[in-house]
Structures are given as structure tokens and as C-alpha cells.
Structure 1
Amino acid sequence: MIPKRAKQAVGQRLLEAFRAAGAEEVAPDILLPAGSLLDLYGEDIRARAYVTADPIRGEMMLRPDFTVPVVEAHMTNGAEPARYCYLGEVFRKQDMGDQRPATLRDNEYLQAGFELFSRDPAADAEVFALFHRLLAPHRLRAEIGDMGLVLDAVRGLPLPEARREALLHHVWRPGRFRRMLARFSTPSVPRHFPEADAPWAGMRSEAEMIRRIARLNADAAVAPLPAIWTERLERLFRLRGPAPEVQAQLAELAEDMPAIAGAVARIGAQMAAIAGHGIDPEAVIFDASHGRTTLEYYDGFTFSFHVGNFHASREGWPPIASGGRYDALTRVLGKGREIPAVGGIIRPGLLAELEGAA
């Protein structure tokens, strides 16, 4: 068991490196208003966060992550460009998802993080290169992806807007997404809603129920998604390998899925910028599904660092570090303002365990 002081020592070392990279240290509250998180994620966040009630402040949550409070503070009175760093505990319930996890996650753990608010298109590469440099001594496996690629692929499906929006809502929940895609790929079963003389009952009004029935009837008339589009989407989700190799495969797939062409070009530029920092693209894994099981605010470039062949006894560990781009989050929390943003976190406790075993 690694003592907390050892984990804190690693965290302070990371914090010093983030400050040296130009970041201002911030310390968001541990107890946060639940409203912003519920507005962003809906009731799903309750399955992951510890929720309590205050008689004056209302519903509150133990801090599930740092990004949301940092973005809220920046969008209220921050200048741009801006760099922030932080160190502290986050609290997460066990997330069972669609299956019970083989390895239970910590309910409380230390995070050290770095957030960059900048309109510079090279910001993704800057943040990734910073994390890569800090973690290089630990010989971790670097993986990247781009949620914009996945989102553009779904937006390009020949489906009515309502069905596309439903798929986009569940894209971060692969099990639900897969089941919904299967339903949209088969003919709908017409539903019969007989008229009755009985009065309307329940929480919804008569007008709401009539609109709901009309939507269900309209959806039943929609033709199923042709199988070729499901096959293309599955091809995209399966792409994984050394970044240059996957880039070539993405370029081929873009011929069949024109909606992803812009994202493929952007990924090429990102890889060139990463190589410009002295990182070998062949040593970076590109996973087209990367980011689909994280918090929903990542909408572009994503990255993570994992234990690899050098740490076989740690197989099953969560990522040592992770992060990505979250432009849409700044629009939601910006009260009329927005700015491109990218950031990430490192788990000092896991690094302390690796260093203790070295």
C-alpha cells in the first residue's frame, strides 16, 4: 500500500511541471452545486457522483472531476489564452455501465491536471507533448483518438434528424448505442394506439401524449438504415493501430463516408504537429473508438496513457493519464462566450505505485 504522502509528493512534482509550462494553479471547491453537472449530463451523472442535499444551497455533489469547475471559473472572468493546473481529490461511485467491471475503481483518488484555453490549432499537440514528456520515464503506452471523427460519422448517416440525435446522445455509451443502431437498422414494428373514451391520466398532459403518439407513428414509418452504413460504422469503430497506419485506413474509409473527410484531414494535421514535438507517430496508437467511454464533454482530440508490456502485472489498471478537447463545454458554460479548450489529468497515486515497484 502506497502512503498518501508518497502520492502527494508525486502530485506536487507534476504540479510544479505544469506551473513551469505556464499554468496558473487553481483550487476548485470539493463540494460543487449539482445543477451544472445535471444540466450537462442529465440524471446519468447520479450513477457516478456522490450527491447530497444542503438546506440552503440545494443539491450538491462531491467533485467528480476538475474540468467543469475550472471551465466555469474561466468563462466567468478568465482571459485568453490561459493555462491552469490543479491537484486534489475527486470522488466517483463505481460505474457498472453495461457490465460489472472486472476491476473495481477507486471511490476517491488524487488528480493532477492541466487545462489550456487557446485558439491556437496546435494546442492539442502542445498538451499531448507535455503529458508525453512527463510520463516518458514510465514507458507507458500512448493512445489517441478524435471524438469529432465519430460524431461526424454519425451525423453523416442517412437517417432522420431525430434518429441521428438519439444516436449522438448515446455515442458515449457503446452498449446502448449498439442496441439503438440495431433497432434503427431493422424495419420498425407499427404500433396501434386505439382511441378510447376514458379520460387521460398520468403525469403527462393530453397534448403531450398526442404529440408523443404522433412521433411514434412517424418513426414507425421510417425506412431502416441500409446495412452498408452499419458495416462502415463498425469498420470505423474497429480501426486501431500505429497512427500512420490508421491514418491511411481512415483516408480510404472517407471515400465511402464523406462526412468524416474533414476530421481525417484534421487528424493528419494533429499527427504532423505531434511529430513536430519530437514524438514518433509510429509509437502512438490511434484508436477510432477512443474517448467513447469517458465523460461526455470530449468532442475532439482525445488521449490516454496506459501501462503496457513493461508493466504486465498491472494489467487492468485504469489509464494513468487521460484528456482531450472539449470546445462544446465552453459554449454550454460560457453564458454567450466560447473558446477552444483542451486539457488532461494524471493520477499521481498510480505513478507512485509504479515508482515504488521500480
Structure 2
Amino acid sequence: MASKAEARSIGQRLLAAFEAAGAVEVTPDILQPAEALLDLYGEDIRARAYVTADPLRGEMMARPDFTVPVVQAHMAEGAEPARYAYMGEVFRKQDHRGSARVAEYFQAGYEIFDREDPEAADAEVFALFAKLLKPLDLSATIGDIGLLRAAVEGLDTLPARKAALARHIWRPKRFHRLMERYAGLVPVPESRAELLSGATSDAPWIGLRAPEEMAARIAVLQADAETAPIAAEDVARLDALFALRCTADRAPAQLNDLGIAALAPAIARLERRLAALDARGIDLTALAFEASHGRTTMEYYDGFVFSFETADPGFPPIASGGRYDALTRVLGGGREIPAVGGVIRPGLVADLGGLA
């Protein structure tokens, strides 16, 4: 495993490359307010964050990544277009020994905020990373969470069902259990059936929720129970989408072949992105596309996602990133700015022999 000095040295080289590409260095504090940030990370990161209590500042967390504090700073005082770079340590608890994952490691990152051409910005970040990491002979994979979200939004079912499915896109097992239930493939739990039938109306009131809250929840469950199941053909199309893997050049055609009308705008964005990647010299016939790529990473990604990995499945990704427009809306109080970025782990680069 590379030493801190080796990792820091490579991180500084990456930072210099990002600055040469037009980025301004930013240095977010290591200690970040925990209350707001924990809700913005996925379950994996929330479970692995180091959280502590400060007598004056309240609950704080050791920085688990850079993107959220960078977005916070930009939405408060930044101007577009903007390119930011950073290099420093992040902290995440690990739940097993003997792997390449460590609790404290360096990240070097590059972020773009630009309204003019989001797909060109996607291609810029990916192509820059591909150029810097070329000596390592890594495998790259791209995906698009926007495709999955569009397919869910296009389902012919209750808005509450679609909202629940959208929340669980990043949790594949829960998502598919919900799909099975909404498609009528699994029986309604006995306790829920009793509640909806009124069999529990004489039961004692237990818990902290107000009667009005419970009544509203029961009304939602009742509406769900009275709604027709999601059609089997829609479930099959969604399953086919989530399982789609091909080379990037073939992705638009294969997505169109699924026959999901709601995907049309997302496929058009994908085609523009692929054209921008091609213009930057990326060989689309050698680039892997997976529709479900990124489903178990940061929950704030809502569009383009990518990673660079070794052939060893037990080795963490060397680099990863994606688009997070919705995160800017949350942190900007409703004001949204198209944004994309990614990080490289200098320590892992050092483990693989370093940069040329």
C-alpha cells in the first residue's frame, strides 16, 4: 500500500493538471456540519461517516467527500461558468479488514458548473480523467441515472408509487421488491391487509404519531391497494433497461429498442454526450455502457455517471464521478445549476505504479 507521502505527491500532480485545465483550487474544511450533509449522502456514506459533537457548533462530521461542500460554497457565492479542483483527505469508516479500502485517504477532484452545454461538460470531465489515467490501462464504464429516473416517471401508476421507486433506485434489492409488490407478484402483508380492512380499528393507540398522520398514511395505503398492478410488460421493459449492458456506441439503439416512450429525452441527451465524447477522442466502441451503473454509489447523482477500475473486482474504483444537477437545487434553495465532476484516488494510483 502506498505511503501518505506517495499518495500526496500524486495528488498534487493531479491537482496541477486540473488547474492547467482551467480549475480554481478550493479547500473545504475537514470538519463539516453534519445535520444537513448526512441527508444528502447515500445510505452507504451515512453509515460510514465519522460524526462528533462540538459544544459550540453542534454535530459535526469529518469530510466524507468534497462535492457537497464545494456545491454549498458555489451556490452561496460562485458565478458561472466555474471549474473547481481540490486535493485532500476524506474519512470513511470501513466494516472489514484485508481489503484495499482504508478509512482515511486522499481524493483529487475536478468539478464543472456550466449552464451552456451540460453534455460537453460531461465529456470534458471524463476525457480529462481518461487522459490522466491512461498509463494505468484501466477499464472505464459509463451510465446514466437519468435514464432510470425517466423510466420510473413514465410508469402508468400512482405518483406515490413512482416517488417510492425513485427513492430506491440506489437500493436495487428494495427497488425490485417494491416493483414486485406494485406489479401484484407478491401478496399484501397480513398486517397491512388487516389495517386496510378495519380489523385493527379497535386496537389500542401505540406510538408517537398523531392520529391525523396515521389517518393520512392509511389513506395512502388504501389508494395503493385500490390501484391496478403495474402492467407485466412495463415491468419486463424496466427489468430489461436495468440489465442493459453494451458498448457505448450501441447504447442509443438498444435503449430505443426497449420501447419505453418516456426515455426519448434522456436518450437524446445520451446521444449528445456520446457525440461530445467522440469529439474528444474517446473510442465509443471500446467504452462500456451499463444502464444500472452507479446505482450503489452517491445518491446525489441524477444523470451521467462513470468509473475507472482495474480488472480486480475486489479493488475499489480508481476514479468515479457523475452529474448532480438536483443537488445544486437542494443546496441552492431552488436555484439549479447544471454540474458534473469526479474524483481520483491518488493512493490507489500509487499502488498501481503511479502516473507516467
Same fold (TM over 0.5): yes
- Identify which of 92, 102, 108 aligns with 2:104: 108
C-alpha distance in structure 1 between counterparts of 2:327 and 2:83, whole Å = 16
Counterpart of 2:227? 222
Counterpart of 2:50? 50
Greater shift, 139-148 or 178-187, is seen at 178-187
The offset of 1:105, in angstroms, is 3.0
CA contact (8 A) 2:42 2:297 kept: no
Question: Structure 1 residues 217, 280: CA separation in 2 closer, same or farther (over 3 Å shift)?
Answer: same
The offset of 1:78, in angstroms, is 0.7
Verify: 1:138 aligned to 2:136, yes or no.
Answer: yes
CA contact (8 A) 1:37 1:45 kept: no
- Identify which of 137, 160, 163 aligns with 1:162: 160
Query: Taking structure 2 as the reference length, what is the TM-score of the superposition?
Result: 0.92
* Partner secondary structure for residue 126 of structure 1: helix
Structure 2 gaps, min length 5: none
C-alpha distance in structure 1 between counterparts of 2:42 and 2:315, whole Å = 28
Query: Taking structure 1 as the reference length, what is the TM-score of the superposition?
Result: 0.91
Aligned residues: 347
C-alpha distance in structure 1 between counterparts of 2:200 and 2:267, whole Å = 51
CA contact (8 A) 2:113 2:340 kept: yes
The offset of 1:42, in angstroms, is 8.1
Q: Map 1:216-295; keep pairs closer than 5 Å.
A: 216-253=221-258, 256-295=259-298
The offset of 1:72, in angstroms, is 0.3
1:153-191 superposed Cα distances (whole Å, 9 cap, x missing partner): 111111100010000000011111111111111166333
- AA at the equivalent of 1:234: D
Counterpart of 1:341? 339
The offset of 1:318, in angstroms, is 1.3
Question: Structure 1 residues 319, 267: CA separation in 2 closer, same or farther (over 3 Å shift)?
Answer: same
- AA at the equivalent of 1:231: A
Verify: 1:296 aligned to 2:299, yes or no.
Answer: yes
* Partner secondary structure for residue 266 of structure 1: helix
The offset of 1:48, in angstroms, is 2.5
State percent identity of aligned pairs. 61
1:224-275 superposed Cα distances (whole Å, 9 cap, x missing partner): 112111111111111112111222211212xx21000111111111111101
C-alpha distance in structure 1 between counterparts of 2:155 and 2:336, whole Å = 28
Counterpart of 2:63? 63
C-alpha distance in structure 2 between counterparts of 1:340 and 1:160, whole Å = 29
C-alpha distance in structure 2 between counterparts of 1:133 and 1:33, whole Å = 35
CA contact (8 A) 1:75 1:330 kept: yes
CA contact (8 A) 2:10 2:354 kept: no
C-alpha distance in structure 1 between counterparts of 2:231 and 2:16, whole Å = 54
C-alpha distance in structure 2 between counterparts of 1:102 and 1:242, whole Å = 33
Question: Structure 1 residues 203, 16: CA separation in 2 closer, same or farther (over 3 Å shift)?
Answer: same
- AA at the equivalent of 1:113: G
CA contact (8 A) 2:23 2:85 kept: yes
Question: Structure 1 residues 159, 6: CA separation in 2 closer, same or farther (over 3 Å shift)?
Answer: same
C-alpha distance in structure 2 between counterparts of 1:280 and 1:93, whole Å = 37
C-alpha distance in structure 2 between counterparts of 1:201 and 1:106, whole Å = 44
C-alpha distance in structure 1 between counterparts of 2:99 and 2:182, whole Å = 33
Q: Map 1:7-46; keep pairs closer than 5 Å.
A: 7-41=7-41, 46=46
* Partner secondary structure for residue 115 of structure 1: strand
C-alpha distance in structure 2 between counterparts of 1:39 and 1:32, whole Å = 13
* Partner secondary structure for residue 282 of structure 1: coil
CA contact (8 A) 1:143 1:303 kept: yes
Greater shift, 204-213 or 275-284, is seen at 204-213
- AA at the equivalent of 1:347: R
* Partner secondary structure for residue 218 of structure 1: helix
CA contact (8 A) 2:100 2:315 kept: no
Greater shift, 158-167 or 198-207, is seen at 198-207
Counterpart of 2:183? 185
The offset of 1:44, in angstroms, is 6.8
C-alpha distance in structure 1 between counterparts of 2:274 and 2:333, whole Å = 33
C-alpha distance in structure 1 between counterparts of 2:71 and 2:57, whole Å = 21
Q: Structure with the greater relative contact order (CA < 8 A, sep ≥ 6): 1 or 2?
A: 2
Greater shift, 224-233 or 185-194, is seen at 185-194
What RMSD over aligned residues (CA atoms) do the two structures have, in Å? 2.2
- AA at the equivalent of 1:225: I
